[in-house]
DNA sequence: TCTAATTTGTGCGTATGTATG
DNA sequence: GCATACATACGCACAAATTAG
């Protein structure tokens, strides 16, 4: 295989494709400072392009100080400092408050010369698939939050696997990819266990769980917990029209349901954190002060954003479990 | 046989026949993503139509994201999703909680066959400018939130003015454009006036105003109010290290400062809504329940999203002042 | 390095049919 | 019947990008 490749990217001019394939070879360490580039004529013959096309590519690199030419000898790499402008494809499920932290810490750690484009699939497989197919080859890195969509591997495998990072929810079929994920099953189990003493004040756990939005691991972890510690429990998919009763603890991943419960409790005389409890999911600033503080099981979205930025810049192959913690406040 | 055929359908305009024959070729798999379309001139010669006719057909496909053009090379199929009838370019300032309502009601009213791409300029003029220049001609409608960036007209005037809507903050230089805006100066004045009886319980107004993020009209409206009703006042740019004192009312556009004030008040014995007051800006769900309810001056973001969707589908030329209201809760 | 061919991008002028009031 | 606006269609000219020889 040669260093240069042309016609991977249909839209780009040929000379730019030559430039970027050489830049890539340098950044991957295939060619190093002092190495000779293939001659102009050899590239012309091998790829069937005009001599001028190769020349304009080399001139581009030369004007930027990446290569130097020596008459009668050839072109040589003179600097490995290529400022490849990176573009990152960031595919979220939906827009919501706690992505603010993730996104802004991601951008802060990334440099200014990296462009990030955001997309949302809204839990719609066809849209998910279209967004990825339409953008194959256009980005230097793909960050994908598959949420609980199934069969995403069928789409994702069309991307270069060294340029993909799976975010938040991990699926078996995607095991081979770089990922920053939450281990929902163990996290909810361990964090409930961590709050066991406080939960024991109550006698009944209500999990507000929607199959469409929440990951299945959450449910499994919850069920493990109630079985192991022999709690009475109930699973409901919405808190609409639900009025809390004494001795109940609500575990609420979705903020709309959180508000429903708190508002409907205004009718009762129950005191939150004494007569009934709430454990929320995904911490946001406002939860620090709502009703004196809402207890939350939450991953550290700032940390997730920072680590993601490091992955994008360093292109390591790793699977990172993002830390998750129980933040105890007055609602429990 | 060529890909394009004209005069099968005598009723339809020629450019639309070209569009649909290309769509048909894509859906039949005759041309695929990455393939080059016949050149404009070749279609003109082959079918004896004007160059302009072919061009308007290609522009239609381009604005829908089906094809992309590369100057000097040709038109290339970039997406096989031919059911997308419109693509909308949506440029926000930053990602934050209340945009959730705006965005989701916008999408709900828009049909399924309209694709929306979101971008953020982060109050950075160079980024703002680059994002627009990079996407000229690629969308059928441009929704732009200039925030308080200056000289945006220099960039925006390069877009077709009938395909642009200015969102939220209006500037004099952008007066000619379709817009859904807030009249910050009058809204803050009128809403403070509406809450006058409650504000009168206190004797000093503190406005937490940052020039970088908040629109200048807000400050003007506030100053009009304190002058007309002879309130003592103070303007600070951050609530960091600020501890509320008795008799103060805080007007707080930014949620981080809101939280700072509420948290720092835990040190004091002051009761919110009696000893000191808070008026927040931009209502979100959680403000209904924070500290028993935070009073907010807020525009109706759901309404804004709905009206925006109507504008995009009907392409009317209007300037709409989005309704704004004082939502009185216990914090005042 | 120069010239040429091809292609897109843009602007201007003109003409025709259709819908609207 | 008349005036106006709009979409459609055509022709021409020139600029800029790409590629080839």
* Residue pLDDT, tens place only, A100-113: 889 989 999 987 77
Q: What is the model's pLDDT at position A72?
A: 65
Q: Is the CB of B72 within 7 Å of strand C?
A: yes
Q: What is the model's pLDDT at position A7?
A: 61
Domain at B86-183+301-323: CATH architecture: 3-Layer(aba) Sandwich (3.40)
Q: What is the model's pLDDT at position A3?
A: 64
A290 at B interface, C-beta within 8 A: yes
Is the confidence at residue A65, as pLDDT, over 80? Answer: no
Whole-angstrom CA distances from B224 to B210, B215, B220, B297 are 18, 15, 6, 16
What residue spans of chain A are helical by DSSP H? 14-27, 40-47, 51-63, 99-109, 125-134, 153-156, 184-194, 196-199, 216-228, 255-264, 301-314
- How much is the average pLDDT of A118-132? 91
Distance in Å, residue B314 CA to nucleotide D4 C1': 22
Do B286 and A100 make contact, defined as CB atoms within 8 angstroms? no
Longest dimension (CA), chain B: 85
Is the confidence at residue A317, as pLDDT, over 90? Answer: yes
Is the confidence at residue A200, as pLDDT, over 70? Answer: yes
A99 vs B contacts (CB less than 8 Å): 95
**pLDDT-based confidence at B243, cuts 50/70/90?**
very high
- Which 66-95 positions of B have CB less than 7 A from strand D? 70-73
Question: Which pair of structure tokens corresponds to residue A315?
Answer: 């292109």
Is the confidence at residue A8, as pLDDT, over 60? Answer: no
Write out residues 110-129 of A within 8 Å (CB-CB) of B: 117-120, 122
Helix (H, G, I), strand (E, B) or coil at A213: coil
Q: What is the model's pLDDT at position A1?
A: 46
What's the whole-model pTM score?
Answer: 0.84
Query: Which CATH number is A14-77 given?
Result: 1.10.10.10
- Which 102-131 positions of B have CB less than 7 A from strand C? none
Give chain B's length.
332
Q: Is the CB of A128 within 7 Å of strand D?
A: no
Q: Please give the protein residue whose CA is closest to the C1' of the nucleotide D7.
A: B13
Do A286 and B107 make contact, defined as CB atoms within 8 angstroms? no
pLDDT in tens, A293-311: 999 999 999 999 999 999 9
Whole-angstrom CA distances from A121 to A81, A130, A199, B291 are 36, 9, 36, 35
- How much is the average pLDDT of A135-161? 91
Q: Is the CB of B126 within 7 Å of strand D?
A: no
A100 vs B contacts (CB less than 8 Å): 95-97
User: What is the spatial distance between Cα B282 and Cα B298, in angstroms, rounded to a whole number?
Assistant: 4
Least CB–CB distance from B290: residue in A103, A263, A286: A286
pLDDT in tens, B28-42: 989 888 888 999 988
Q: What is the model's pLDDT at position A59?
A: 74
Percent of chain B with pLDDT over 70: 98
Q: What is the model's pLDDT at position A64?
A: 66
A103 vs B contacts (CB less than 8 Å): 95
End-to-end CA separation in angstroms for chain A: 62
Tell me which nucleotides of strand C come within 7 A of a protein CB. 1-2, 6-13
**Interface size between A and B, measured as CB pairs under 8 A:** 86
**pLDDT-based confidence at A38, cuts 50/70/90?**
confident
Average pLDDT, chain A: 87
**pLDDT-based confidence at A223, cuts 50/70/90?**
very high
**pLDDT-based confidence at B89, cuts 50/70/90?**
very high
Average pLDDT, chain B: 90
- How much is the average pLDDT of A131-142? 86
B33 vs A contacts (CB less than 8 Å): 133
Is the confidence at residue A16, as pLDDT, over 90? Answer: no
Residue-range domain boundaries for chain B:
14-77, 86-183+301-323, 184-298
Is the confidence at residue B264, as pLDDT, over 60? Answer: yes
Least CB–CB distance from B289: residue in A100, A259, A288: A259
Distance in Å, residue B4 CA to nucleotide C18 C1': 27
A96 vs B contacts (CB less than 8 Å): 100
Q: Is the CB of B70 within 7 Å of strand C?
A: yes
Contact predicate A223/A203, CB 8 Å: no
- How much is the average pLDDT of A10-33? 73
Q: Do domains A86-183+301-323 and A184-298 have the same CATH topology?
A: yes
**pLDDT-based confidence at A2, cuts 50/70/90?**
low
Q: What is the model's pLDDT at position A9?
A: 58
Domain at A184-298: CATH architecture: 3-Layer(aba) Sandwich (3.40)
How close does chain A come to B126, measured CA to CA in Å?
A: 11
Better-scored residue on pLDDT, A319 or A13? A319
- Nearest residue to B85 via CA among B29, B140, B18, B132: B140
pLDDT in tens, B267-311: 888 999 999 999 999 998 888 888 889 999 999 999 999 999 988
């Amino acid at each position: 295989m040669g260093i240069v490749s042309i016609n991977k990217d249909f839209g780009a001019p040929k000379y730019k494709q030559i430039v970027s394939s050489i830049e890539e070879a340098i950044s991957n360490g295939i060619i190093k400072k002092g190495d000779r580039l293939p001659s102009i004529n050899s590239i012309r013959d091998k790829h069937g392009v005009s001599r001028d096309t190769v020349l304009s590519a080399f001139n581009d690199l030369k004007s930027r100080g990446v290569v130097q030419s020596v008459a009668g000898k050839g072109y040589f790499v003179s600097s490995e400092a290529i400022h490849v402008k990176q573009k990152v494809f960031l595919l979220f499920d939906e827009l919501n408050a706690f992505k603010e932290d993730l996104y802004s810490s991601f951008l802060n750690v990334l440099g200014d010369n990296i462009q990030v484009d955001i997309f949302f699939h809204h839990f719609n497989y066809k849209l998910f698939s279209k967004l990825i197919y339409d953008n194959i080859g256009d980005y230097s890195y793909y960050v994908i939050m598959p949420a609980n969509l199934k069969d995403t591997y069928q789409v994702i495998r069309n991307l270069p696997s060294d340029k993909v990072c799976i975010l938040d929810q991990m699926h078996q079929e995607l095991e081979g990819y770089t990922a920053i994920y939450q281990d929902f099953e163990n996290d909810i189990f361990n964090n409930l266990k961590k709050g066991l003493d406080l939960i024991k004040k109550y006698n009944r756990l209500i999990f507000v769980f929607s199959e469409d939005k929440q990951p299945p691991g959450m449910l499994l972890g919850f069920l493990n917990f109630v079985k192991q510690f022999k709690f009475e429990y109930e699973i409901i998919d919405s808190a609409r029209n639900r009025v809390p009763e004494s001795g109940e603890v609500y575990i609420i991943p979705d903020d709309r349901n959180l508000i429903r419960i708190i508002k409907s409790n205004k009718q009762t005389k129950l005191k939150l954190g004494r007569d009934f409890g709430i454990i929320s999911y995904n911490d946001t600033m406002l939860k620090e002060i709502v009703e004196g503080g809402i207890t939350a099981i939450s991953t550290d979205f700032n940390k997730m954003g920072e680590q993601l930025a490091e992955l994008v810049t360093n292109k390591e192959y790793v699977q990172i479990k993002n830390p998750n913690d129980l933040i105890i406040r007055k609602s429990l």
